[in-house]
Amino acid sequence: MDKEIQTNVEIFKAWQNGYFEGDPLKPLSHSTYGQFGFMSVLHATYLRCIKPYIRSNTIALEIGPGRGGWTKCMLDAQEIWVLDAMSAEFNKFYEYVGRREGVHYIEVEDFSCKGLPIEHFDYMFSFGCLCHISFDGISEYAKNLYDKLKPGAQCFWMIADFDKYNEVMKNYMRYSIVERHMPNPTNHAQLYRDLRKFYGENKPKLRAPNDGHSPAPGTWYHAGVSRTCEMLRQAGYEIVDEDVGTCLRDPIICFEKP
Ligand SMILES: C[S@@+](CC[C@H](N)C(=O)[O-])C[C@H]1O[C@@H](n2cnc3c(N)ncnc32)[C@H](O)[C@@H]1O
């Protein structure tokens, strides 16, 4: 046997039943990485949904950029077009993203997407926006964006699914990093209280159906992952992944224009 491998065999004998780092299928699994074993939902979503798709020749489209937190991750693209109901000035978009050639900000007044060129985009992304739009509204977007996308365009939409959301809220002990990793809070009572405060008191606040007729500021509309996927199929798209899973609380649908 090779000497190096023999040394390893001796070392790994210490792990009876085989070395086990942790369960990759469990999003909050313990590992030897300890406190460095976790990653933000935003960063994981960037790695899964943006980074592999943005190239120097990509023409990207984003719905609801706000100040441009996600847009800034796409700046390697050839062009980025963003649609937002608020003005760029209000969102302080250019202050954050910077003024760059190839970045086009469109302030929308409806779901028609009429300012966008036909068969132009090969990538679309939306996070934290469609959850504030009624199902009729997102259906309009899906329909009107279809001919703006090139065949093969990859799309990622975060939408609201109150069932997924409520499941997490009802089982926050299972999903909360604070609850999961402070198994004996009495030993660290003050730290535990501080952590809970820092991450928000985990009182389960469930979302109830909203008919969209009396929206309050920041209202969420239940779209539902199955219903949205069905609507996207009806509009002509193919579903690649009903939920990429980088956000435990809200689904992100990956779909493409065939
Ligand atoms: C909660 S913010 C999210 C901003 C950004 N995506 C983020 O995650 O940081 C929602 C954004 O969607 C925009 N918005 C609301 N309705 C919209 C619509 N019908 N079309 C496009 N943008 C819309 C809002 O103006 C706001 O900038």
With a 6 A CB cut-off, is 44 part of the ligand 1 pocket? no
Output the tens digit of pLDDT for each of the chain's 258 residues.
999 999 999 999 999 999 999 999 999 988 999 888 999 999 999 999 999 999 999 999 999 999 999 999 999 999 999 999 999 999 999 999 999 999 999 999 999 999 899 999 999 999 999 999 999 999 999 999 999 999 999 999 999 999 999 999 888 888 888 877 776 777 778 887 888 888 777 667 788 766 555 567 778 999 999 999 999 999 999 999 999 999 999 999 999 999
List beta partners, residue 123. 60, 154
CA nearest neighbour of 252 among 48, 80, 113: 48
Q: Which amino acid residue places its CA nearest to atom 15 of ligand 1?
A: 85
With a 6 A CB cut-off, is 70 part of the ligand 1 pocket? yes
Query: What is the CA(132)–ligand 1 centre distance, in A?
Result: 8
Closest approach atom of ligand 1 to CA 127: 6
Determine the pLDDT at residue 46. Answer: 98
What is the pTM for the complete model shown? 0.92
- Regarding whether 134 and 232 lie in a shared domain, the answer is yes
- Regarding whether 131 and 225 lie in a shared domain, the answer is yes
In a domain, 116, yes or no: yes
With a 6 A CB cut-off, is 86 part of the ligand 1 pocket? yes
**Could you give the residue ranges of the DSSP H alpha helices within 128-224?**
135-145, 162-170, 172-175, 177-181, 189-198
List beta partners, residue 80. 60, 103
- Regarding whether 156 and 170 lie in a shared domain, the answer is no
CA nearest neighbour of 238 among 142, 111, 165, 131: 142
- Regarding whether 45 and 150 lie in a shared domain, the answer is yes
In a domain, 135, yes or no: yes
